[in-house]
Each structure stands twice: as structure tokens, then as C-alpha cells.
Structure 1
Amino acid sequence: MAVLTQFDSQLWQWCDMSYAQNKALCLELQNSCQVNVNLLLLAQYLDITQDVTGPQRYSTDQWQTLMSAVGEWDNKFLMPYRKLRKLAKPSLNEQEYQQMLDVELMMERKAQRTILFKIKELTPNGKTTNLVSYLSLFGLSDRDANEIGLIAP
């Protein structure tokens, strides 16, 4: 469990940096394609890192499994909260709105932990990059995925 906790912390920090550099693109993919930003950033991370066994590539079916693992949390809690935050924005001062963003971030971290627990159960068997495999679930082609232009931190 200590290894997972260390990976969780490292991944969260990396994703936070990547999100900061790719915020507009992440939000565009989230809003237009319903892409899960946690999974998008995980795919990017896995594509640019490897462990001692080599690249960790997951198949489209495995990415679907990860989406399903976090889907219930997202549908029941995260998305309704996000909608509430957006609706409340005009009625809140800056500090109140920031507090809502902080709660949403906490919810995103919970979702990421769920993903990490599930990915630990999977043995990578993908033939292409994680980004291509994941984005294909949203009807994006290999070319689209390769042209996304995520900037690595």
C-alpha cells in the first residue's frame, strides 16, 4: 500500500502541473467530448513514463474499465457538484467560489484514487499509446489523439 500511496502523491503532483499547462485543452475535451480529465492526464503520464518492465500501455477495453470504475462517483457526486458550482458562481464572492473549487479538487483527488486502485488490478496489454486508446472511446481517431498537443510538465 505504501507504494500506491507514494505513486498517488507523485501522480497527483504531476497531474496538477500538467493540468496547469493544459487547462484550456483539458476543459475543452471535458466539455465537448465528456473526457475525464483525471484519465486524460493519467494516459499522458503513462505515455511519457515507464517502469522497469517498459512502457505501460493499456488497451481501449482497459480504459473503459477505468472509466466505469470512476463513473459512478463522477455521475453521482462530481458532475452534480460541478454544475452547482457553475450555477452558484454569479452569487458568490471570490473566496466563496475558491472554496467550492477546493472542494471540487478534493473530489477529483478521490476519483483519482479510485482509478489508481483499479489500474493496480490490470495487466497492461495495449498495442498503442494510452492517449490513443483512451481518446478512441470518445470517437477520436489516432490522428486526433496524436495532434491533441498536451504539453508535458
Structure 2
Amino acid sequence: MTLSNRLSLSLWSDCDPLYMQHQSLCLQLQDDHQLNVNLLLLALWLDMHHYLLPKLQWRQLQQDTHSWERKLLLPYRQLRRQSKACLATGEYRQMLELELMLERKSQAMILTALKLMPLEEQTSTSTNISSYHNLSHYLALFNLDSRNYPSLQSASQ
């Protein structure tokens, strides 16, 4: 199976359990540092599957994703959060579903961009490559050190 097929077939479904396991930390990093949870999960997935995305590509993915999200997803998320106290449960759930649809759109955009980027497959003989190199690259964009997040490091191994 090619990497492209593997990305298409399993990437986000593989990330669902990672998200469930680390949901509170993911949301905290999103809220406190404006990380993109999908990109954080992508970093973990790439590390788990031994693919390395260069630092420059991480920066490009972050910029492209943030540009799109800043226009639509982030304002909508803020509106949903502010509206929570004013809405009935069903209405709030509808807003959340729309936000999740926007997240899936973001995932599709990330996947499309990722397929055009150079990924280096890491082997057991690769030197100087930690098992959480992508995680380190992504967190470094926000001046965060992956060593401060041992649960994420262990998830990416």
C-alpha cells in the first residue's frame, strides 16, 4: 500500500483514538497556544508510522491551515462557545456538529496539502531521529518543547 493510499484510508480514523486519549491536553494546547489539533494529531500519526515531514513543511501546513481557519472556523468556534449559555441542548449540539463539519473540511485540506509534500520514511537505521520528531517540529512552531508533554511523546512511539 502506498503512503498516499494509507493517508487517504486511515489517517483521520487512526487519529480518533489518539484524540480521545489526549482530548483535554489537545484542547488545552489549542486554547492556550492556538495549536491546530488536527496538525498535532498528524504529527503523532507520522511519528507512529515513522515518516518525517521537514520543518519547513510543518510551517507551511500551519500557515495554510491557520489562514483558512482564521476566516471561518475560529470565529464560528468563538460564537459557539459564547452561545452555549443561551441555547437549548439540541441547538448547541447543532452548532457543534457544524463546527465538526468545518474541522473535517480542515482535515481534507491538510490531507491534500500533505500528499504534495516530501515525506521521508524513517528506518530503524536512521540516525539522530527520535520517535517523536514531527511532534517536536510542530510544537516548536509555538515555542513549545515536546519534552514538556510526555503523554504525547509516549503516544507517538
TM-score of the pair, normalised by structure 1: 0.84
Q: Which amino acid aligns with 1:82?
A: R
Equivalents in 1 of 2:99, 2:30: separation in Å? 15
CA deviations over 1:42-86 (Å, ceiling 9, x no partner): 00011111xxxxx21112211011112212221000000000000
* Residues 4-153 of structure 1: pairs in structure 2 closer than 5 A: 7-49=7-49, 55-124=50-119, 129-144=133-148, 147-150=149-152, 152=155
- 1:29, CA displacement in angstroms? 0.4
Unaligned runs of 5+ in 1: 50-54
Q: Which amino acid aligns with 1:130?
A: N
What secondary structure is seen at the aligned counterpart in 2 of 1:139? coil
1:15/1:42 contact within 8 Å kept: yes
- 1:103, CA displacement in angstroms? 0.7
1:12/1:109 contact within 8 Å kept: no
- 1:4, CA displacement in angstroms? 5.2
Equivalents in 2 of 1:94, 1:74: separation in Å? 25
Q: Could you say what the CA RMSD is over the residues aligned between the two structures, in angstroms?
A: 2.3
Equivalents in 2 of 1:75, 1:124: separation in Å? 27
Cα distance change on mapping 1:5 and 1:123 into 2, 3 Å: closer
Unaligned runs of 5+ in 2: 123-128
The count of aligned residue pairs is 144
TM-score of the pair, normalised by structure 2: 0.82
Q: Which amino acid aligns with 1:99?
A: Q
Cα distance change on mapping 1:123 and 1:5 into 2, 3 Å: closer
Equivalents in 2 of 1:9, 1:87: separation in Å? 36
Identity fraction in percent: 42
